[in-house]
Structure 1
Amino acid sequence: MQMNAQQLSEAYRGMCTIREFEERVHKEFATGQIPGFVHLYAGEEASAVGVCMGLRPDDHIASTHRGHGHAIAKGCDVHAMMKEIFGRQGGLCKGKGGSMHIADIGKGMLGANGIVGGGPPLACGAALAAKVKGTQSVAVAFFGDGAFNQGTTLESMNLAAVYALPVLFVLEDNGYAESTASSWSIGGHNPVRRAEGFGLRGNRVDGHDFFAVHRAAIEALTRMRAGGGPELLHIEFTRYFGHFEGDQMTYRPPGEVKEERNYLDCLKFMRARITSAGMLLPQELDRMEAEAASLIEDAVSKARAAPPPDRSDLLTDVYKTYAGALA
């Protein structure tokens, strides 16, 4: 699969933006200004960008509690995301959802989700609507290795298979479900074979390699748009931070994260690949990194300055009214 300079720039810029966003949120959370729980996506950028670059504006994604990377990759506004995380007016959910509940339906981002395994059923709903309407749009369900053992995920895979729904199930296996190693917790130790048990085509992918992820996603999405039914990608990578901010990671071997940052960094791999091939110059990538840092700095500055939600907003957006649609 050949990518031109513009596509490579888009991919690298997206991955840099996610990395800078997460590294900065990590620092800001330590100041005590960010309320609620935060789960960071750093180290996993190739998965979100590699998959979402194959999506159209009318496609949908369902995310997880670790949803910042998915939101950015699907085109959500970074400034509005930062305001949401800080719990301020102007946030994607008006500052009332926080990190685990970022959503932007207009961008096809059905939301981060505090429920483990809560996303796959939503993706099935979006895919069913697309199939009924004949739009050829697809839905992507991102979920972790812990959610792969949840009934909601397995039932969604079965439902998608039975109705031949255009759902791409993306198992983001970062090695740990909170503190439990996925190498121990997934029965059979082969997620692709488990998917095949439901009749789904599956593919195991190195999540440190953007090009491998993007190629696998494009191939799967092309088959799905042609009526091929649901598929699964088992993407393996590492996360650089704990399960949540404050996690001491005592379950990980000493030095593991340092080694991963040095030798298993999807951004370093991509940079080396495209510069050695002469596809983009090192100074072009340097500029993208600097622009990403400037963007996040501006987002943090504006989020800090924004006011919190007003008390009058407390009971708004609680229920959806369908009266007009049913009249």
Structure 2
Amino acid sequence: MSKVALNNESKIYVAGHGGMVGSAIVRCLKSRGFSNLVMRTHAELDLCNQAAVNTFFAQERPDAVVLAAAKVGGIYANNIYPAEFIFQNLLVECNVVHAAHMNDCQHLLFLGSSCIYPKLAEQPMTESALLTGTLESTNEPYAVAKIAGIKLCESYNRQYGRNYRSVMPTNLYGENDNFHPENSHVIPAMMRRFHEAKLNGDSEVIVWGTGTPMREFLYVDDMASASAHVLLLGDDVYRANTDAMLSHINVGTGVDCTIRELAETMQRVVGFSGRLVFDPTKPDGTPRKLMDVSRLRKLGWQYSTDLETGLRKTYEWFLENVEGLRQV
């Protein structure tokens, strides 16, 4: 098995390069001098098709893989499409990780989600909270798929000596996010709602839930920076802060806010002058989700973009692309 460390000449396959996180990781790797990047659109390579994935890996034989491809969505989408969320994510993970191993790809970074932790996990959530309690019901199928991805990587590491690492991001937002009015996460959905309310001259914006849940948000370019950092860490530093049975690493800011505070910040960023109305008949989801990021800090990385700055950058991008988004 190849044990060669990654360098600027290494061939890195970024799965999901067209998505918010994948595109940010591509930008980050290019800025660090990595030019031998392999990318395929969904039309070119269906990651749910095992035969196609096997053929791709046999032909390209990448030195490393960043597995950022996934079926994702907010509370509404997870409630309506639970079968697709668990089935498609399991297929992608199994196909890519196994094909990487079979073609002697030693390095892989799997991107998970903070929803892997129990609904009532002690806050802030440490990596050791995994599998210690009941998951949040609204996104349990997706969470189970992501947990399976972590264990898949750990199993190939234990049995075959692979260097497959996992990062668990908190709630992400930024350029290339999904701004669908129903299937998006809280920040893009809220941004679009506030923006359209401003254009329409509405007197109020209705926000789902009570506004009291606590959430942590990370700007996607910070997530890309953390992903590259973990992928490129030397084995000695990485293994000193992880072990075979607890290999995943939390990625976040370590700072959270209420949904009400998020809405007030969004209102300020977008420039909506009406009032906020909270709808308590809509689900709140998990009461609080804050990541313990002490392990990542020990590995030498911490975030650099605060929430309001990140929202302003995201809104600038949104305004440049809003005409296309109106057709979504």
TM-score range, shorter chain: 0.3 to 0.5
TM (normalized to structure 2)? 0.35
Comparing both chains, which one has the higher relative contact order based on Cα–Cα distances under 8 Å and sequence gaps of 6 or more? Answer: 1
> Higher strand fraction: Structure 1 or Structure 2?
2
TM (normalized to structure 1)? 0.36
